[in-house]
Amino acid sequence: EQTVVHQVKASVRLSLDQAKTRGAAAVLGFTEKFDRLKAGSVAGLEIGQDRLQKALEAIPEDQRVALEQAAQRVRSYHERQNQQSWQYEEEDGTVLGQKVTPLDRAGLYVPGGKAAYPSSVLMNAIPAKVAGVGEVIMVVPTPDGVVNDMVLAAAKIAGVDTVFAIGGAQAVAALAYGTETVPSVDKIVGPGGAFVTIAKSLISDQTGIDMLAGPTELGIVADNSANPKFVALDLVSQAEHSSNTFCYLITTSAKLAKSVSNIISELIPKIQRNNLVKSSLKNNGFIAICQTKTDMIKLANTLAPEHLQIMTKNPESFSSKITTPGLILIGNYTPSSASDYVLGSNHILPTNGFGKIRGSLSVLDFIKVNTQVISSKSSLSKISKYLQVLTKAEGLPNHYEAVRGRLK
């Protein structure tokens, strides 16, 4: 497995180096090679607003309404995340504050080949637009020139400014380094496969990224009050993402554990995508039976899953002790599958334990906070004695002289 990772990383690094040195020619070459899509220039890979509008008009009405409803709920949630500029004055007259400004340009990577996720367009683009990002550029792979109409319709609904039919590591390179047509961006966000994730990692020394997300994770904490069918359905729903998902149940009830296991065994032969579900749950899934509620809390916080569902008596009280998951879903009727689409929360979430240090993609990913300070001769005079002590302690006397020179 490590050999494969090294091979993928080497391949991605080569793609990035080629794109950095050869620009558009490399991007076009890789697009033709991997997506079998030939264009005379990168400009020829742009998908115009007229095409987005046609896609919106072409999809069935129920799909359009569903996208619009999801977009409205996602927008409503993220509008509440907006930050404000502020300032205050100390007693000595020093004025301090923060200035909040949006990023100038953001790049969104959206899967669009065999796996097409219009919901990810909404989750990426809407917080960027709510934050006030000046220009939102989306890249989407289009194997053989075919792109999913719902993906394009979602881009139109979300207000994406420009779309390019580019995927893979070369798309990340185009956004990071820029070409004659694709401008370089301040930050690249959005999920992708191994090549995209590694490419984001390798360019992160010069271009901002949101996070390095791995396969889907779902943890469910449940006691004997939980409905075992709900638990089983939820584990299956997330396990169908891929054979690498990490889905599990943490419980204090051996009876619940047995019931959930039996229901999953009964479901698998009857469901679609059952090969993926079976492989994922067999290779990566587990049921942990804990002695106490405290043990369940400790294990959930240690694992820090992408999604954590709490299906216990008094789930709100239980959730107050859980701090590390990317998203916490409380109660029997808050399935992670609903949060992936229309509850309003963002489904781009930290995995691999990174929920311990950050949450979902949000408006905060698309703003920058600058500190502003205004001092006067009078306020400097009042704090100069403290400054003299601290600069002397750190062996930096000229820091103090820069202040003392102003007070003579």
Q: How far apart are CA 328 and CA 306, in angstroms?
A: 9
Q: Edge-to-edge strands of the sheet including 46-47?
A: 46-47, 162-164, 135-139, 105-109, 187-189, 208-209
SS3 percent helix, strand, coil of the chain, rounded to 5, is 50, 15, 35
**For the chain, how big is the Rg over CA atoms in Å?**
25
Q: Edge-to-edge strands of the sheet including 367-374?
A: 86-89, 95-102, 367-374
* Selected catalytic residue, list 266, 306, 316, 394: 306
* Selected catalytic residue, list 78, 241, 307, 347: 307
For residue 77, the one-letter residue type is Y
Residue with tokens 């793609």: 15
Q: Take residue 95 and report the two structure tokens written for it.
A: 């004025």
Q: How far apart are CA 94 and CA 177, in angstroms?
A: 41
**Is residue 306 annotated as part of the catalytic site, yes or no?**
yes
- Burial class of residue 65, CB neighbours in 10 A (0-12, 13-18, 19+): exposed
| CA–centroid distance for 267 within its chain | 31
Q: How far, CA to CA in Å, does 380 sit from each of 86, 372, 375, 387?
A: 22, 16, 7, 9
**Is residue 78 annotated as part of the catalytic site, yes or no?**
no
Q: What are phi and psi of 13, to 5 degrees?
A: -60, -40
Q: Edge-to-edge strands of the sheet including 246-251?
A: 286-289, 246-251, 217-222, 307-311, 327-330
* Strand, coil or helix: 168: helix
| CA–centroid distance for 7 within its chain | 25
Residues with Cβ within 8 Å of residue 182, at least 6 apart in sequence: 27, 42, 137, 164, 166, 174, 175
Q: How far apart are CA 34 and CA 11, in angstroms?
A: 13
- Residue ranges of alpha helices (H) inside 110-221 are 118-131, 149-158, 168-177, 194-203
- Burial class of residue 274, CB neighbours in 10 A (0-12, 13-18, 19+): middle
Query: Which residues on adjacent β-strands are paired with residue 164?
Result: 46, 139
The residues that are catalytic are 306-307
